[in-house]
């Protein structure tokens, strides 16, 4: 059974943003690796290690391969080649660049996915609703998070109905494209109809609220968490600037 | 059991409508409608599909006329306020304020729910949240309402995981949360099994006992006649009080004479110890099922929601492979799915019925024939979404019949059908059986089942 972190969703997001910006700005392989290790540890504690590993792998493998192809194999830098096959040559510098960029991307992806797995969607929507942002923003996020699975279900039912009429039953990539083409229009039409049907009743239930709105759901928060959020935001904004200044000072002294 | 409240004379909702015309309509959809609704009363309005019931419901709930678009001439009295509508002036209505006095539950109750709340309790509190009611007060009101309507067991459930009956109960409770004087319910019992219907009816009675007036919009007054304070029929755009003779006529169920099926007729469908399960499901939806259907036979599948009726029909149609046992069909099958809108993809009825049929196929020639058989020929060039619900259901049926299946599978075929549509459906079943086909249908409509099925197979 996966565990959830009983923190305000904004606290998790603020810390995540600070970690990503600082790691990207610092650009040290060991720091990126440490962050990735910490993410895997947290996901293991939360019972989400397998899910995080699979999702990260699916997203990062093509990224690493493309970086390796661009910077590692067809690099035009002048550093000595480790290996060479005709025009393709592997250089130390090229590998370093590919690895550095790949690790920074990995931090962004893994931290982002971990946030997605740790934050309860309903808590996030409630937190947005209770914040001073326009109520439509909360609904938009909620609709994206919760209505997409409903659309997937609708798409499945349309597929069944088309199969009954012996359409969209082809195999392979051609069959897949045919199915996408056949299902797209009815899915969009049905979803629009659905949205129209829901909209009148949402209005009747007072949405969007014109004055202050409240939520039955409570979102855990505290002074400490609020302080952490402020610190994380300051670090996310000023941290990279500070690192840039330090680098410039170092370059100047040389 | 519900008991009539002492007579309260002042109407909580009054409608005096001279005409109502949609923006793009030539003729009025409704005209000369006079209606008064009293506290705690049950008003039943029946009408064929397309008769204007939903339009009337939307007018009562303040959702129509749309400002600057539709034209309503008449007056609506709500909460001691009389609102005048004329050709020259359509007052802008605050729908959320109106909903505090008159709420509307659509036929698809899921549309009333926000779809974005994690628990039933939050769904019930949705309108209170938008009003900015303090949390403690909301919590108290949700608990009180749930207790009153016996919904405590559902409060922590995810609204997305409710059954059809539970969804309707929750929508009804969410509607009642604002304590409106009048609730307008569009086909509140459609598609529910007997148990779920009884629970919804009990909730309706509980609301009436509190003094809430209920207006029910239905195809047939059959289930409501004995409790209703006033019964109306919506015909040709106007309301007429139903006389007792007309009520009896509507109560009457067409009982077809039982047709005998020769015992040696051809077997069209055979199931032996069949187990059916959806991919990834922990346990089978249908277990150890034996069934044989012969030519000329109509089999009714009965059972509560979730008993596996739809699963069985899908398996016979080839959408699901049995995990165990033997399922054999000796002829083509065609399945009418429960939700018509998932079965319609094209921009005209003609194109819809021809969908998926090769242009040079002889089956194309059956298209006009099937449209005529179902009384849809005048709709050939109409968009299926623009049709009344009953006609849309018949279009979905036409898409099945055009392929001339020997085994006709019907999942809740009477849902959304009006009386004319139901008569057409019965005729379709009769002709399918006469030409040596077989019909397997699932329905919660006991009267229809009794009138059509040779044998009822109880699913558990």
Mutate to test the interface with A, among B113, B173, B311, B342 (most CBs of A within 10 A): B342
Residues from chain B that touch A213, judged by Cβ atoms under 8 A, are: 129-130, 132
Q: What is the pLDDT of residue B268?
A: 93
CA dihedral sign of residues B74, B76, B82, B86: negative
Count the Cβ atoms, other than its own, within 10 Å of residue A27.
Answer: 14
Cα(B103)–Cα(A196) distance, integer angstroms: 18
Question: Residue B333 in 3-state DSSP?
Answer: strand
Phi/psi at A147 (nearest 5 deg)? -85, -20
Closest CA to B205 of B166, B241, B176, B174: B176
Chain A CB within 8 Å of residue B433 CB:
no
Query: A217 vs B139: CB contact, 8 Å cut-off?
Result: no
pTM: 0.78
**Over the stretch A193-248, which tens digit does the pLDDT of each residue have?**
888 888 889 989 988 877 788 999 999 999 999 999 999 999 999 999 999 999 88
Task: Encode chain B (460 residues) as per-residue pLDDT tens digits.
Answer: 344 444 445 889 999 999 999 987 888 999 999 999 999 999 999 988 778 888 999 999 998 888 888 899 999 998 778 889 988 888 888 888 898 899 999 988 889 998 889 999 999 999 999 999 999 999 999 999 998 888 899 999 999 888 777 888 899 899 989 889 999 999 888 777 777 788 888 888 888 998 999 999 988 787 787 888 889 999 888 998 887 666 666 555 544 445 566 667 889 999 998 988 887 777 788 888 899 999 999 999 988 777 888 889 999 999 999 988 999 999 999 999 988 777 888 889 999 999 988 888 888 999 999 999 999 999 999 998 888 888 999 999 999 999 999 999 999 898 888 888 989 999 999 999 999 999 999 988 888 888 899 989 888 7
Query: A182 vs B345: CB contact, 8 Å cut-off?
Result: yes
* Closest-CA distance of chain B to residue A34, Å: 35
- Nearest chain B residue (CA) to A126: B117
B129 to each of A130, B223, B453, how far by Cα in Å? 10, 36, 49
Phi/psi at B72 (nearest 5 deg)? -120, 135
- DSSP letter for each residue of B124-158: HHHHHHHHT--HHHHHHHHHHHHHHTT-GGGTTS-
Query: A214 vs B106: CB contact, 8 Å cut-off?
Result: no
Cα(B274)–Cα(B321) distance, integer angstroms: 10
**Over the stretch B125-170, which tens digit does the pLDDT of each residue have?**
999 999 999 999 999 999 999 988 888 999 999 998 887 778 888 9
What domains does chain B contain, in order, with CATH numbers?
13-251 (3.40.50.300), 267-458 (3.40.50.300)
Residues from chain B that touch A198, judged by Cβ atoms under 8 A, are: 111, 114-115
Nearest to B133 among A154, A214, A217 (CB): A214
- Nearest chain B residue (CA) to A208: B130
* Closest-CA distance of chain B to residue A136, Å: 12
Query: HSE of B351 in the Cβ direction (CA atoms, 13 Å)?
Result: 9
Please, which pLDDT band fits residue A149 given cuts at 50, 70 and 90?
A: confident
**Over the stretch A84-128, which tens digit does the pLDDT of each residue have?**
777 777 788 888 888 889 999 999 999 999 999 999 989 999 999
Strands (E), chain A: 81-85, 88-91
Residues from chain A that touch B126, judged by Cβ atoms under 8 A, are: 205, 207
CB pairs under 8 A between A and B: 130
In terms of C-beta distances under 8 Å and separation of at least 24 residues, what long-range contacts does B370-378 make, across chains too? B370/B398, B370/B401, B370/B402, B371/B398, B373/B401, B373/B428, B374/B398, B374/B401, B374/B424, B374/B428, B375/B420, B375/B424, B376/B349
**Over the stretch B181-240, which tens digit does the pLDDT of each residue have?**
999 999 888 777 777 788 888 888 888 998 999 999 988 787 787 888 889 999 888 998
* Closest-CA distance of chain A to residue B149, Å: 20
Query: A157 vs B104: CB contact, 8 Å cut-off?
Result: no
């Amino acid at each position: 059974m996966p565990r959830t972190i009983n923190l305000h969703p904004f606290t998790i997001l603020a810390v995540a943003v600070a970690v990503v910006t600082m790691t990207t700005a610092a650009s040290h392989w060991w720091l990126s690796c440490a962050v990735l290790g910490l993410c895997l540890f947290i996901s293991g504690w939360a019972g989400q290690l397998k899910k995080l590993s699979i999702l990260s792998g699916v997203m990062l493998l093509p990224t690493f391969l493309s970086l390796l192809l661009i910077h590692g194999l067809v690099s035009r830098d002048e550093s000595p080649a480790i290996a060479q096959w005709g025009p393709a040559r592997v250089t130390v510098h090229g590998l370093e660049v590919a690895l550095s960029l790949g690790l920074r991307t990995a931090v962004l992806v893994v931290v982002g996915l971990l946030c997605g797995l740790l934050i309860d969607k309903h808590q996030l929507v409630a937190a947005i609703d209770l914040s001073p942002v326009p109520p439509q923003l909360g609904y938009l996020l909620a609709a994206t998070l919760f209505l997409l699975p409903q659309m997937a279900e609708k798409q499945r039912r349309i597929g069944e109905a088309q199969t009954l009429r012996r359409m969209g039953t082809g195999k392979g990539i051609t069959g897949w494209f045919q199915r996408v083409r056949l299902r797209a229009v009815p899915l969009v039409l049905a979803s629009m109809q659905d949205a129209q049907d829901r909209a009148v009743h949402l209005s009747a239930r007072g949405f969007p609220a014109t004055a202050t709105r409240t939520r039955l759901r409570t979102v855990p928060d505290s002074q400490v968490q609020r302080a952490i959020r402020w610190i994380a935001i300051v670090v996310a904004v000023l941290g990279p600037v500070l690192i840039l200044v330090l680098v410039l000072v170092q370059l100047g002294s040389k | 059991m519900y008991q009539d409240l002492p007579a309260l004379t002042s109407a909580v909702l009054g409608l005096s409508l001279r005409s109502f015309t949609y923006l793009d309509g030539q003729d009025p959809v409704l005209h000369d409608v006079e209606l008064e609704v009293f506290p705690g009363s049950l008003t039943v309005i029946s009408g064929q599909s397309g008769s204007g019931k939903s339009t009337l419901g939307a007018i009562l709930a303040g959702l129509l006329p749309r400002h600057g678009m539709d034209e309503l001439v008449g007056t609506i009295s709500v909460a001691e306020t009389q609102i005048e509508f004329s050709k020259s002036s359509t007052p802008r209505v605050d729908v959320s304020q109106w909903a505090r006095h008159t709420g509307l539950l659509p036929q698809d109750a899921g549309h009333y729910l926000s779809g974005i709340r994690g628990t039933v309790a939050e769904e019930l509190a949705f309108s209170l949240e938008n009003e900015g009611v303090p949390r403690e007060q909301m919590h108290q009101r949700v608990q009180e309402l749930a207790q009153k309507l016996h919904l405590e067991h559902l409060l922590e459930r995810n609204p997305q995981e409710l059954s059809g009956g539970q969804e309707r109960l929750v929508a009804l409770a969410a509607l009642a949360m604002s304590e409106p004087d009048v609730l307008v319910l569009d086909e509140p019992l459609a598609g529910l099994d007997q148990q779920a219907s009884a629970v919804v009816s009990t909730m309706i009675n509980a609301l009436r006992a509190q003094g809430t007036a209920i207006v029910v919009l239905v195809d047939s007054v059959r289930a409501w006649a004995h409790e209703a304070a006033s019964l109306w029929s919506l015909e040709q755009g106007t309301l007429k009080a139903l006389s007792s003779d007309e009520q009896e006529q509507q109560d009457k169920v067409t009982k077809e004479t039982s047709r005998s099926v020769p015992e040696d007729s051809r077997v069209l469908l055979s199931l032996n110890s069949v187990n059916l399960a959806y991919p990834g499901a922990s346990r089978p939806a249908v277990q150890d099922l034996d069934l044989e259907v012969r030519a000329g036979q109509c089999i009714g599948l009965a059972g509560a929601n979730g008993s596996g009726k739809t699963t069985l029909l899908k398996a016979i149609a080839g959408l699901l492979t049995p995990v165990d046992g033997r399922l054999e069909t000796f002829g083509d099958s065609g399945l009418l799915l429960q939700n018509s809108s998932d079965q319609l993809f094209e921009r005209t009825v003609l194109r819809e019925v021809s969908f998926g049929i090769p242009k040079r196929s002889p089956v194309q020639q059956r298209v006009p024939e099937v449209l005529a058989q179902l009384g849809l020929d005048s709709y050939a060039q109409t968009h299926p979404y623009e049709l009344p619900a009953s006609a849309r259901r018949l279009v979905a049926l036409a898409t099945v019949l055009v392929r001339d299946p020997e085994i006709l599978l019907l999942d809740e075929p009477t849902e959304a059908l009006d009386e004319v549509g139901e008569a057409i459906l019965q005729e379709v079943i009769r002709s399918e059986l006469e030409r040596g086909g077989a019909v397997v249908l699932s329905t919660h409509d006991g009267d229809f089942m009794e009138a059509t099925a040779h044998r009822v197979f109880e699913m558990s």
